[in-house]
Amino acid sequence: MIAFLTGRLAFKAPTHLTLDVQGVGYEVHIPLSTYYALPNLDDITALNIHTHLREDAIQLFGFLSKSEKDSFLLLTTVSGIGPKLALSVLSNLPVTELVHAIQTEDVDKLSTVPGIGTKSASRIALELKDKVGKIQPVSAQIPVLEPDGIDGPFEDALSALVNLGYRPQDAKEALKRVTKAAAGPVALKQLVREGLKELARG
């Protein structure tokens, strides 16, 4: 099982990246929280890895912090929560918010994640309440992504929201409202977060 990888960041997108480890390219699925904190392309990157074995494939899931990986593994122990849905949870809720929501049994907060209904949220809170205390969230310094024109961040944000389970048209309209309300160019990280808020409002 692969548990850790260090290599050159050859490609990155909101949902996955390619890590070049001595000439071998590993495709790794990631949450948005990891994507925001990635270095520039061609920089050396170290990831905590979970290897997921399926009958037809081997999938790698990567996280910059151990707390993200620990949260991911805990979430996948809940009935009905697979790796992709666990990534969606981490993409919508930072580890600190996730831990707090579980400890306080905030079902409404948990059910704001696409794909997580009230029943699934209740199961997460019930089954993990006594376990999340072991997770030590690390307050990582997230770099600010400077906008390089509206098209790039807008399209990246749209791609991120669609991959989180939202309908393309709904995501696009939400992002348009965010950019229209902004005083100037909006960085990718803020665009995604504000887009999620707009979508949560309905």
pTM of the model: 0.68
Taken in order 110, 152, 182, 33, the sign of the CA dihedral is positive
Domain 4-63, CATH homologous superfamily name and number: Nucleic acid-binding proteins (2.40.50.140)
Domain 151-201: give its CATH architecture. Answer: Orthogonal Bundle (1.10)
66-134 is classed CATH 3.90.320.10:
no
Name the more confident of 6 and 200: 6
CB under 8 Å to 44, separation ≥6 — which residues? 6, 7, 8, 9
Which pLDDT belongs to residue 152?
64
pLDDT tens per residue, range 141-193: 333 333 333 456 787 788 777 766 677 888 888 888 888 887 777 777 778 88
Distances (CA, A) of 81 to 49, 96, 106: 18, 20, 18
Q: What mean pLDDT comes out for the span 119-128?
A: 92
pLDDT at 140 over 60: no
Per domain, the residue ranges of the chain are: 4-63, 66-134, 151-201
- Angstrom distance (rounded) from CA 111 to CA 46: 31
- How far does CA 87 lie from the centroid of its chain? 5
- How far does CA 118 lie from the centroid of its chain? 20
